[in-house]
């Protein structure tokens, strides 16, 4: 190992005493700060979710200090950024192990971490401390106006920063893969990550023509979550399943290819389910409905995949919590993306449900079930190793599994209550001969919003327990190993 | 999965499928851009509308409202607000915020000039004349 590598790893933030004995490659340790940051930002995301959930029923809560739109930006941008931290941590851990060599440059990985964290933090502080219009002025949005579009609210300079961070990350991983062993898992991971970076470039395209703006906005959003991110998710899940089940790599990788083949065969043209009512030609109602109706299949295959691999396991891995998260990801991704996605994806249904609480219901369960959970699966499997043990103590795992159930069941409840709110909204505001105005219909759904907020509190408790589980001590039970 | 179906078959289906459907998507995108001039109301894309869109974006209106059904679900759809309320109501409304009604959802005060308000209304008018295949289902959005 080069001296620079050692220097990085010997910093206080680096590995604990015996980590080297648990990691195949010492440079995998750079994943740790990424995962810690991911969890911290996740916490922030949920705090702002709770603020908004309350504003839904107590409209002037925290107004004018934190208007709803500000809380929403913070909530969704923290979500995206913590998932990106999670993907990056996963990449830094997984790629050296698959490539059977040290990371090309651990030092660059650490620098990239700090750049990303500081840029992200500054952006969030900007959202919260000055009016958005002032932030736009301060960051010279007029040079290349990209702000003010859902999920892409970041100042243009932050977007440039994200691209640079992504490039540094991809350079580091690509060099590692190129000079090491090439596996299907690492290849799919790299394809997904490169795709993520490439499609993000469309966030810089913001024409005055609203239809074109919206059309290519989906090149980022849809082609991420129903395209390249599924490749990343599949690769991460495959990696963890190989490790915890000991099932033959050939079998796992065959599944992986079939899943991601179905993802892209259905999901690319499936983008059409966003092109029904934004000014685009009517034929998209056919293309979008037919292809997006197939999109649940790859998600269902992920469910089958995770259960199948665990049932055929050749070893009892001591990290039971990681196995639970992997199975949970398979189920919840299918429910959130597959079932709740299908619910409103056919054009005649979407005509009524477009842009309602039903959309929010689906958005929540899909993001949680697929991407939040797969990142936590990865963290659950790797974090004990990064901290120098094969698995956490029995007590820590027990608490982690309690947090799994609290968060997951709370998310099921949130989804059901938002679905009920959506039903109220659609039937009162969109149907019938005397439709109600928006705000009047909202009042009729207030009970469901309260119940959503209560479920949100349970989610928050689950998350708090999850974080506490990292601090539970006790002897590791490796007897079954 | 059966043993006769090998990993390399699966990989080939993946690459073939990805390339084929991506190219098909590009072709459909091209066709869409050809069809848009008749639908997207670009004849009315004036300088004023462009300024209005910029105000829309730099006040992050999409953080509470939907526009053609996309955005946030906290406040009413604005793609058809021009027909629902008319230009004068919209301007008076924006000027009058926040209502301060206790417990009611609040909209911030943006301190827009009269010129900026006209720009914003021009943008909303332009948006409302896009051919959206008859969406939303009724005037309430
Ligand atoms: C993990 C994968 C997925 C994630 C994370 C996800 C997330 C989301 C989010 C956040 C939105 C709202 C976008 C906005 O704010 O405008 C959305 C919209 C939508 N999603 Fe998904 N989705 C996923 C998969 C799917 C699948 C597989 C389907 C179809 C089977 C689907 C169908 C839809 C439809 C039709 C809309 C538009 C709703 C509307 O018209 O308001 N999604 N999705
Ligand atoms: C305590 C739990 C949570 C609460 C109370 C909450 C609340 C909210 C609220 C009120 C919105 C804005 C909806 C609107 O535009 O009107 C929102 C948006 C969103 N939240 Fe959450 N949230 C929570 C947890 C989560 C989690 C765990 C995730 C994902 C892992 C998530 C992902 C999202 C996404 C993707 C959107 C945008 C949805 C869309 O555009 O359709 N939230 N959330
Ligand atoms: Fe989609």
Domains annotated for chain A, with CATH where assigned, are 13-469 (1.20.210.10)
Whether residues B73 and B46 fall in one domain: yes
Name the residue with tokens 């990350």. A169
Contact A227, A295 (CB under 8 A): no
B124 domain residue, yes or no: yes
Whether residues B46 and B30 fall in one domain: no
B135 domain residue, yes or no: no
B37 is written with which tokens? 């001039």
For residue A299, pLDDT beyond 60: yes
Whether residues B105 and B48 fall in one domain: yes
Write down the pLDDT at residue A368: 98
In sequence order, the β-bridge partners of residue B67 are: B70
CA of A271 to the centre of ligand 2 (A): 22
pLDDT digits (tens, 9 = 90+) for A380-417: 999 999 999 999 999 999 999 999 999 999 999 999 99
The Cα–Cα gap between A95 and A103 comes to 8
DSSP letters spanning B32-99: HHHHGGGTS-GGG--HHHHHHHHHHHHTTGGGT-EETTEE-SSS---TTHHHHH-HHHHHHHHHT---
Give the whole-number percent of chain A exceeding pLDDT 70: 95
What is the pLDDT of chain B when averaged over all its residues? 97
Write down the pLDDT at residue A31: 98
Write down the pLDDT at residue A476: 73
Residue range of the domain that includes B119: 41-128
The Cα–Cα gap between A31 and A24 comes to 13
What is the pLDDT of chain A when averaged over all its residues? 95
| A151 CA: nearest ligand 1 atom | 15
pLDDT digits (tens, 9 = 90+) for A173-217: 999 999 999 999 999 999 999 999 999 999 999 999 999 999 999
The Cα–Cα gap between A189 and A228 comes to 9
Whether residues B31 and B48 fall in one domain: no
Whether residues B101 and B117 fall in one domain: yes
B84 domain residue, yes or no: yes
Whether residues B124 and B103 fall in one domain: yes
pLDDT digits (tens, 9 = 90+) for A228-265: 999 999 999 999 999 999 999 999 999 999 999 999 99
The Cα–Cα gap between A198 and A218 comes to 13
Domain count, chain B: 2
CA of A288 to the centre of ligand 3 (A): 9
Whether residues B32 and B47 fall in one domain: no
Does B113 contact A at CB distance below 8 Å?
no
Per-residue pLDDT band for A468 (boundaries 50, 70, 90) equals: very high
Whether residues B50 and B116 fall in one domain: yes
Q: Who's near A321: CB < 8 A, 6+ residues apart?
A: A380, A391, A392, A397, A400, A401, A404
- Taking CA–CA distances from B73, the nearest residue in chain A reads A356
* Gyration radius of chain B's alpha carbons: 22
Per-residue pLDDT band for B1 (boundaries 50, 70, 90) equals: low
Q: Give the one of B17, B29, B64 whose C-beta lies nearest to A69's C-beta.
A: B64
Per-residue pLDDT band for A8 (boundaries 50, 70, 90) equals: very low
Phi, psi of B67 (to 5 degrees): -135, 115
The Cα–Cα gap between A190 and A49 comes to 32
Write down the pLDDT at residue A477: 62
pLDDT digits (tens, 9 = 90+) for A363-380: 999 999 999 999 999 999
Could you tell which of A329, A360, A441 is best to mutate to test the pocket of ligand 2, judged by most ligand atoms within 8 Å of the CB? A360
pLDDT digits (tens, 9 = 90+) for A149-180: 999 999 999 999 999 999 999 999 999 999 99
B2 domain residue, yes or no: no
Contacting B residues, span 47-86, partner chain A, CB-CB under 8 Å = 49-50, 53-54, 56-64, 66-77
Q: State which residues have CB under 5 angstroms from ligand 3, the bound ion.
A: A 222, 226
B141 domain residue, yes or no: no
B1 domain residue, yes or no: no
ipTM of the complex: 0.98
Per-residue pLDDT band for A11 (boundaries 50, 70, 90) equals: very low
Write down the pLDDT at residue A474: 84
For residue A125, pLDDT beyond 50: yes
Phi, psi of B66 (to 5 degrees): -95, 155
Whether residues B12 and B54 fall in one domain: no
Q: Give the one of B22, B136, B139 whose C-beta lies nearest to A268's C-beta.
A: B22
Whether residues B86 and B25 fall in one domain: no
Whether residues B28 and B92 fall in one domain: no
B32 domain residue, yes or no: yes
- Measure A87 CA to nearest chain B CA, in Å: 22
CATH for B46: 1.10.760.10
What does the CA dihedral B53, B56, B61, B65 come to, rounded to 10 degrees?
-40
Per-residue pLDDT band for A9 (boundaries 50, 70, 90) equals: very low
Whether residues B68 and B29 fall in one domain: no
């Amino acid at each position: 190992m080069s001296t620079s590598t050692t220097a990085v790893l010997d910093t206080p933030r680096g590995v604990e005493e015996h980590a080297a004995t648990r990691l195949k490659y010492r440079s995998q340790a750079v994943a740790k700060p990424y995962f810690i940051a991911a969890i911290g930002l996740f916490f922030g995301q949920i705090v702002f979710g709770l603020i908004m959930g309350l504003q839904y029923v107590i409209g002037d809560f925290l107004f004018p200090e934190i208007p709803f739109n500000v809380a929403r930006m913070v909530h969704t941008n923290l979500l995206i950024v913590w998932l990106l931290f999670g993907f990056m941590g996963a990449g830094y851990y997984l790629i050296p192990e698959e490539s059977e060599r040290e990371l090309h440059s651990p030092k660059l990985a650490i620098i990239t971490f700090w750049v990303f964290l500081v840029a992200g933090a500054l952006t969030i502080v900007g959202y919260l401390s000055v009016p958005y219009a002032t932030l736009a002025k301060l960051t010279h949005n007029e040079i290349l106006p990209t702000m003010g579009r859902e999920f892409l609210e970041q100042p243009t300079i932050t977007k440039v920063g994200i691209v640079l961070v992504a490039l540094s990350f991809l350079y580091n991983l690509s060099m590692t893969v190129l000079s090491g062993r090439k596996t299907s898992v690492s290849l799919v991971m790299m394809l997904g990550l490169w795709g993520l970076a490439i499609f993000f470039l469309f966030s810089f395209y913001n024409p005055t023509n609203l239809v074109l703006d919206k059309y290519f906005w989906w090149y980022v959003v849809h082609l991420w979550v129903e395209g390249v991110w599924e490749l990343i998710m599949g690769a991460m899940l495959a990696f963890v399943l190989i490790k915890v089940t000991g099932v033959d790599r050939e079998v796992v990788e065959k599944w992986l290819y079939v899943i991601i083949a179905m993802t892209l065969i259905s999901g690319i043209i499936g983008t059409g389910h966003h092109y029904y009512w934004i000014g685009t030609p009517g034929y998209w109602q056919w293309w979008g409905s037919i292809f997006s109706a197939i999109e649940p299949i790859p998600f269902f295959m992920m469910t089958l995949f995770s259960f199948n691999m665990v049932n055929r396991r050749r070893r009892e891995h001591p990290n039971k919590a990681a196995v639970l998260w992997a199975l949970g990801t398979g189920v919840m991704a299918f429910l959130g993306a597959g079932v709740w996605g299908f619910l409103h994806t056919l054009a005649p249904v979407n005509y009524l449900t477009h842009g309602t609480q039903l959309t929010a219901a689906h958005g929540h369960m899909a993001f949680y079930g697929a991407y939040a959970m797969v990142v936590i699966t990865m963290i659950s499997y790797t974090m004990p190793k990064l901290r120098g043990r094969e698995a956490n103590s029995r007590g820590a795992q027990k608490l982690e599994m309690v947090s799994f159930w609290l968060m997951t069941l709370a998310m099921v409840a949130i989804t059901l209550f938002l679905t009920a709110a959506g039903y109220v909204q659609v039937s009162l505001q969109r149907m019938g001969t005397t439709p109600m105005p928006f705000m009047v219909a909202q009042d009729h759904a207030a009970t469901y919003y309260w119940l959503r907020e209560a479920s949100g509190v349970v989610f928050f408790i689950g998350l708090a327990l999850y974080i506490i589980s990292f601090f539970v001590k006790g002897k590791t039970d490796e007897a079954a190993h | 999965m059966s043993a006769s179906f090998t990993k390399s078959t699966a990989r080939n289906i993946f690459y073939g499928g990805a390339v084929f459907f991506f190219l098909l998507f590009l072709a459909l995108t091209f066709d869409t851009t050809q069809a848009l001039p008749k639908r997207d109301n670009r004849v009315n894309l004036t300088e004023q509308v462009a300024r209005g869109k910029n105000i829309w974006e730099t006040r992050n209106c999409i953080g509470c409202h939907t526009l053609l059904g996309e955005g946030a679900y906290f406040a009413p759809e604005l793609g058809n607000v021009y027909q629902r309320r008319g230009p004068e109501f919209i301007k008076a409304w924006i000027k009058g915020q926040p209502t301060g009604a206790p417990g009611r959802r609040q909209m911030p005060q943006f301190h827009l000039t009269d010129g900026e308000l006209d720009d914003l209304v021009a943008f909303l008018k332009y948006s409302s004349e896009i051919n959206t295949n008859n969406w939303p289902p009724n005037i309430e959005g």
